[in-house]
Amino acid sequence: MFLVWITYTDGAVNLSGERWINHPDGYAMTNLSVRPRAGHPDQLMGRVHLQGCSGYAVGPILKPGR
């Protein structure tokens, strides 16, 4: 668990790690950025700013057939 600094600049949300509250072994703090997509406010896709990582996606779980 860590604290983050959240900023909104030029249409992008940036989450920057500040400091660990509880640093479990084997975990790294990383920064994230996301630009909300027009027409899909419940779906977020962005970049993970950590070597060896690429991106992430967060959204609602859809039932089969939807």
Taking only the tens place, the pLDDT of each residue in 6-65 is: 999 988 889 899 999 999 999 989 888 888 888 887 888 888 888 888 888 888 876 666
Residue 22 has what DSSP assignment? Answer: S
Which amino acid, 33? Answer: S
* Residue boundaries of the structural domains of the chain: 2-58
Pair 29, 2: CB distance under 8 Å: yes
Pair 3, 18: CB distance under 8 Å: yes
pTM for this predicted structure: 0.67
